[in-house]
Amino acid sequence: MNKYTWFVFNLLVMMVASYVVVQYFIMDGTQAGLVQMKLMVLSKLSAFWYIMLFIHAATSVVALVIGPFTLSTKFREKNISRHRMLGKIYMIGILLGGVSGLYLSFYATGGLVGKSGFGLLSVFWLISAYQALNRVRNKKIQEHQNWMIRNYSLTFAAVTLRLWLPLFVLLFGSAHFELSYAVISWLAWVPNLIIAEIVIKQNINKRQHRKIVFK
């Protein structure tokens, strides 16, 4: 990833993280757009739903912001102890964010398609985190890094979701919002995962090329 792409990538991360923090933890989170959208369909939301929402928002933001540091090769090489510490915090964020996200997916807008999209996102988020953790415990560092790329591509769904939403509203209007949201529940993470696989493949090819050059 070149410097310009990395800059845009991190700028989007910080913008979305700041937006979530302001909306849910500085302003009245119960008046957030997501909550108001739910109240248009459901007459009342349980206290437990609100608790899970705020847990999901807080832990997902932590994972979103920490992720780029855990993926940075330069940061890892210069700060291995900090890398490990941030990695542990990141994993806790994924655990809490994934479990709360799975619960919230049962209430997702967009019918069964929307529920399935966000539900599978949470499941794959948790599974990929476990795979990354398992690989590093077994000293399979390269495989660990590959799984972390996959995992963060799913974490980045917090960003892509908010890029797709205004575009769909602009193109199809608010009258078709439920259908749009059902589609976005998949668009928010499936393309991210495909891009992650492309990046992993490119990294493998680069390493193989270096081995050939230095033989």
Higher pLDDT, 113 or 210: 113
pLDDT given at position 158: 96
145 and 214 Cβ atoms separated by less than 8 Å: no
Region of poorest pLDDT, from 37-46, 75-84, 107-116, 191-200: 37-46
Residue 30: C-alpha distances to residues 46, 118, 158, 174, 192 (Å):
12, 21, 19, 21, 30
What range does the domain containing 162 cover? 3-213
133 and 91 Cβ atoms separated by less than 8 Å: yes
49 and 108 Cβ atoms separated by less than 8 Å: no
Helix (H, G, I), strand (E, B) or coil at 88: helix
Counting runs of H as helices and runs of E as strands, what totals does the chain give? Answer: 10, 0
* Mean of all residue pLDDT scores within the chain: 91
Nearest CA to 154 out of 205, 108, 93, 110 is that of: 93
166 and 181 Cβ atoms separated by less than 8 Å: no
37: confidence class by pLDDT, cuts 50, 70, 90: confident
176: confidence class by pLDDT, cuts 50, 70, 90: confident
Residue 72: C-alpha distances to residues 86, 145, 148, 152 (Å):
12, 10, 11, 12
pLDDT given at position 35: 75
114: confidence class by pLDDT, cuts 50, 70, 90: very high
Residue 204: C-alpha distances to residues 115, 135, 210 (Å):
35, 17, 10
> What's the number of domains the chain is made of?
1
The set of residues, in sequence order, having a beta carbon less than 8 Å from that of 59 and lying 6+ positions away, is: 92, 93, 94, 95, 96, 97, 100
The set of residues, in sequence order, having a beta carbon less than 8 Å from that of 131 and lying 6+ positions away, is: 147, 150
pLDDT digits (tens, 9 = 90+) for 44-75: 788 899 999 999 999 999 999 999 999 988 88
Over residues 184-206, the mean pLDDT reads: 94
Nearest CA to 38 out of 107, 119, 122 is that of: 107
pLDDT given at position 173: 87
